[in-house]
Structure formats: C-alpha cells, structure tokens
Amino acid sequence: MGRFILRLLLFSIVLIVFLAPLFFFRIGGERLKYIDNPVAAIIDKHERIKKINSPRLIITGGSNAFYGINSAKLRDSLNLDVCNMALFAGFGLDFMLNELKDELKSNDIVLLSIEYFLPSRINPKAEEQLIRYYPNSIKYLNKDISTKEKLLNPIKLNIESVQNFVLKPLTSKSSIFIQTRLTNEYGDAIGNLNFKNPAHSDFAVKFEYKDWEGIAKLNQFLEIAALKNVKVLFVFPPIPEVTYNINKDIIARLEADLKSRLKIQVLCTPQDMVFDDNLFFDTEYHLNKFGRELRTNKLIEMIKDFQMSLL
C-alpha cells in the first residue's frame, strides 16, 4: 500500500511538472511565436503602430489590403513609414476603426481599403480568436470577457502552441499552411506570394446592394481623425474583371452613395481597382504577387497626387 501511494505521489509530481507550464506560463512568449493562425498577427501590428513615429501611412481594411499591398514599396516611394493594420473583413468595420482611434498621431495619413458593403459587426469566430490571441482587443470590441474565458484562454493558447511546435516541422511544406501568420515587418501578408492558383468561377461573386451604414461610420471616424490633424483617404478594393462585370450596376449605386454622402476623399473609381482575373490567387479580393505590385504602383501614384494637392 505504501509503495502504491509513493508511486501515485511520484506520478502526480511528474504530471504537475509537465502540466504546470500550460497553466502558469505563456509558451512561445507574449508574441505567441508558435501560433500559426494569421489572426495572431494583430500582436505584431499593434506593436509596430506603437513603435513607429509620425508622419505615418496607416492602412486598414480587410484581407484585400492584408494580402494585396507592398508596404515597403509605399514607404520607399512616399517617404512615409507604413503600418498595415489590415487583416480580415470578418473583423467588421467597427473593430477596424475602433482599434485605430487611440493610435492616431498628428500628420498621419490613414488609407481605408474597405471591402464592398463591409458589415459593421464582427464575425463571432473572428471575435473569439481576437480575444484569445490579443486580449487587449476587448476594448476595441466594447465588451468584457468572463472569468472562465480569462482562465481558459491562456491554457488553450499553450495547448495550441505545443501542437504547432511539434507538428509544424512535419507539415510546414504542405498546403495545410496556406493561411499562416507569415507577415513582413510592415504587417503585409507574404506567405501567399508564391501561390499561382488560376482564376476560377468562384471569383464571380454577386454582391447585394444595400444602403451601407458604413458611410456614416466612416464620416464619424473622419471627425475624430480631423481633431488629431490626421488625413483620411478611401480607395475601392481590388476585384477581378469577372466580379466587376456581374456587379457593375450595384457598384455604380454604391459609388453614387459615396459621392453624395461620404466626406472622406476618395482617391479612385471602382474601375481603377479592377484587375485581370489571373492576378488573384483564391478569392475575389486576394491579389497574387503580380497583382499586388500593380495595385501598389497605382496606390503610389494616387497618394502622390494627393500629397501634391496639399502643397
């Protein structure tokens, strides 16, 4: 009986030693380096926006901007430091704007590259991941989390980190890691740059027209930015020709709404951001590396024209 208790005690000690890190330590550190989910890139983006000085070009929007901009080229051409805060449309317009309000500094330029009819509210799955990977995001979501979530989220993170640390070396060359946290120092996604998927019928997405509530929200953001001496610019997102052709009338109606009600300067027309179908790699908003360069060149010219207009 004594031996059994001793073995049980030893087993318990070993178990505690191995399990303790899951409960008391952040495996991979505060930067969560073993988390491959691209949502975790928000950690790096907020670290950068706090670090770089004004004047800055701050980009936000959904994945059209995350995957489709070469920020290094923007920096070199415009002589502005760049922070690409964009991630996914599923975050919703409210979150995208809220996370910038406290970060704006005098002489910044904010470039809004917003998907068509972007919803205001965040997708529930995206919200859960944001809170888990970046707990500070609750202040941009205007909510709190339960005590249970506060206790369980660090454990979930550590379990995910251990899984990735063990499994990633075995799977990093497979297609499993199409969506990775691989970004450059500016916040641009770069893990997609070698993809050469051809255009396909899924690009022919039909939009649904609505009186977009985002216009009022963008105008409210402009008022806050103006108080901080920050310029705000709007560009339409890139879409393939096939998507544009089946949505011409709907896009024209939205463009008319923006012209009549949006107070932010719009740098382009929707047609300026229509690209050949073969310049997209998986969805109607994700440019491949060739499309990314063409779009970046267009943005450089548009922003230079804007800068000249201020002289």
Is 17's pLDDT higher than 70?
Answer: no
CB-hemisphere CA count at 13 Å for 298? 21
What domains, with CATH codes, occur in the chain? 41-121+181-309 (3.40.50.1110)
Which helix H or strand E contains 231, and what residues bound it?
strand 231-235
117, 254 Cβ separation under 8 angstroms: yes
Taking residues 276-292, report their average pLDDT.
91
AA identity, residue 50? K
Separation CA 255–CA 240 (nearest Å):
17
Is 197's pLDDT higher than 80?
Answer: no
Taking residues 3-11, report their average pLDDT.
64
Is 171's pLDDT higher than 60?
Answer: no
Least confident segment among 1-5, 85-89, 142-146, 156-160: 1-5
Residue 185 tokens, joined? 């120092």
Separation CA 256–CA 51 (nearest Å):
39
Cα–Cα distance list, 200 to 6, 178, 205, 242, 266 (Å): 65, 18, 11, 10, 30
| The predicted structure's pLDDT at residue 178 | 45
